[in-house]
Chain A
Amino acid sequence: MDLLYKIFIDPFMQMGQAPDLLVQTLWEGLVSGVLYALIALGFVLIFKASGVFNFAQGIMVVFAALTLVGLYALLRRWGVAPGDLAAYLALLLTIGVMFVLAVAVERLVLRPLVNQPDIILFMATFGLTYLLIGLGQLVFGGESKVMIAEDLHLPSGSIEVKMLGGFVNFQKIDIAAAVIASVMVAGLAVFFQSTRIGRALRAVADSHRAALSVGISLEQIWIVVWFAAGIVALATGIMWGARSEVSFALEIIALKALPVLILGGFTSIPGAIVGGLIIGIGEKLGEFYWGPLLGSGIESWLAYVIALLFLLYRPQGLFGERIIERI
């Protein structure tokens, strides 16, 4: 009885008693949800266009962030004087690197493996993950770095807002992350809906063969999606890096994004966003209000359990396309 009380009544009492804490928790959940959604977005882009479950998305985030920081340091050493010039130059160069990576992946991994079963492609992205981990550590060293948030003119500091009988603390970088994420999602939506390449992308997602037969180049499309996923990875890396630091530990956020994916559905961009927010908020609320009951650290699996429960009702995720099976 006591346990039931602690599970079903006590947390809600706490929420009611300290609404400012609740708002703070919700906000933190929202922010981490946005970042999960960004990673999930990278997954969805690639899965939609090529049916590849890209496990390397997490390491691409790290790789992009490391490249940015590394190039910046290099440029400064070469004497590019103003910090912000170097930062933006490094940003451009990193985008170039992500493009080269996209082309290389298409040439060396996807093209030879075309028409293989999904699991083989999945394993190939695993190989890619290892390759990128090794390469990143070899070039940039294994120690963690500080994101060049100031020179990129990302806001820092925080705003305290008085509400509901208390103070709620908003980090400015979190607000920036939310804004940038929304802009990026809107941009991608426009790109998908109304540009020529976007339409071609949707055609490829529908059916590879039909797309080929009307003259859409699969190679080109794959490069475009991997490049787009690379840019999303870069943005995620900057945001996440500015919140903590850039290190290979970031790689595990890819594992955090997986429940977001199954919750939202592998093929749906809105799904990635909504899924990210649900998981982010659910995780923080669970950790804060129900966590003490079970001992800390339930964050590590709570997201998966939430996703699993959703899946039992909708096996294709919230927004996924309905799975139709034929004999």
Chain B
Amino acid sequence: MLYREAGQYKTNYATDVAVFPLREDRIGLAVILLIGFVVLPLTANEFMLQAVLIPFLVFALAAIGLNILTGYTGLVSLGTGAFMGVGAYACYKLTTFFPQVNIIVLAIASGLFSAAVGALFGLPSLRIKGFYLAVATLAAQFFLSWCFIRVPWLYNYNVSGAIEVPSRYVFGVPVTGATATPLTRYLVVLSIVVLMTWVASNLVHGRIGRMWMAVRDMDLAAELIGIRLLPTKLLAFAVSSFYCGVAGALLVFFWYGGAESAVFDVNQSFFILFMVIVGGLGSLTGSFFGAALIFILPIALRVLSPAVGLPLHPSTVEQLQFMIVGALIIFFLIVEPNGLARLWQIGKQKLRVWPFPY
């Protein structure tokens, strides 16, 4: 009814390969961007911005990073948390050395360090495959976690062993540290996430994305048609780690305001992997859905459980939360193993042909 392609002609090649071929899709995207940049900043309160929206965007970015590696290239990685950590610590060191440089530039530049580390730990991926590789990436996770604790240079020899975000100004406006308002930080994070999502979308829809997907579907066949496996896999590792690194830097600098090494432990890696799987492997939209579901679900449970009238002990709530999250993961996998992105697609397809069943 509202959403259909009748009357929208594709008259040249560019419109045929467009990422959003339908006018309604483009309008929808514009509306979402409008809500993100204008409506939410005007309406959302501080709690909403600080505790829901900023982390949601950060995790969505990390999920996109992991999705590039796991969803598009088919390499399961359990080292996401560590790569995020590399980004965060790199950003911290960079801003220590160059305090006057724009912090947003540094946050993105710190992704480069993460990319280099990621590519290094991606080297075994040529020989090791499947779950063996997943466990091998745990080597990265544990080694880097250990470094975050044992190399005091990384946190400037702080006694606490934690990194604390200094105040940094961009054009006279505080964007990090205690004086920055949640609104400023939200807008910065949103801009970076939108920009990087756009880049990722172009990457996965282009030649590089095709190469990644060919490797995912069958790497031997991909090699036979002339795709060089090592550069392709390493590129996937590098790009993925770049995204995770930037997400880690954003997490510390624009959300937590300070972090210990425990933030980047193996549970963080699993957490991001949940988002990718529940959201949908090989889908950028899915990364956002997954981040929303996995991150916002526990918050919703916490907020809702008093509302239902169950006077539960906080620890009981936490335990129930664990159980519910676990059960929901299994439930979602059974109902739709291809993730929320697939449900979204099915919904759109149904709308397209409505009122006919197909």
Contact = CB atoms under 8 A, between A and B. Distances in A.
Interface of A: 53, 108-109, 112-113, 116-120, 122-124, 126-135, 137-138, 142, 255, 258-259, 261-262, 266, 294-295, 297-298, 300-301, 304-305, 307-308, 311-312, 315-317, 323, 325, 327
B325 A130 contact: yes
Given A126-B329, A128-B330, A305-B143, A135 B135 contact: no
Size bracket of the B interface:
35 or more
Contacts of A133: 322, 326
Interface SS of chain B: helix, strand, loop or mixed?
Answer: helix
Contacts of A109: 330, 334
Contacts of A297: 146, 149-150
Contacts of B91: none
A308 B124 contact: yes
28 contacts: A53-B131, A112-B334, A113-B333, A113-B337, A117-B337, A118-B130, A123-B333, A124-B329, A126-B329, A127-B326, A127-B327, A127-B328, A130-B322, A131-B326, A131-B327, A134-B320, A137-B322, A255-B138, A259-B139, A261-B135, A262-B132, A266-B132, A298-B146, A300-B142, A304-B138, A312-B124, A316-B132, A317-B132
B60 interface: no
Interface in B324-350: 324-330, 333-334, 337
Interface in B265-310: 266, 270, 273-274, 277, 281
A312 B129 CA distance: 11
Interface of B: 70, 76, 124, 127-132, 135-136, 138-139, 142-143, 145-146, 149-150, 218, 220-221, 224, 266, 270, 273-274, 277, 281, 315-316, 319-330, 333-334, 337
A127 B139 contact: no
A141 to B, nearest CB: 9
A124 B218 contact: no
B327 A137 contact: no
B190 to A, nearest CB: 29
Contact of A304 (B70, B143, B315, B329): B143
A142 B315 contact: yes
Given A137-B315, A301-B145, A327-B220, 10 more contacts: A119-B281, A127-B325, A127-B326, A127-B333, A131-B323, A133-B322, A135-B323, A258-B138, A262-B132, A308-B139
Given A259-B135, A311-B132, A130 B221 contact: no
Nearest to B330: A127
B136 A126 contact: no
A211 B350 CA distance: 40
A301 B265 CA distance: 13
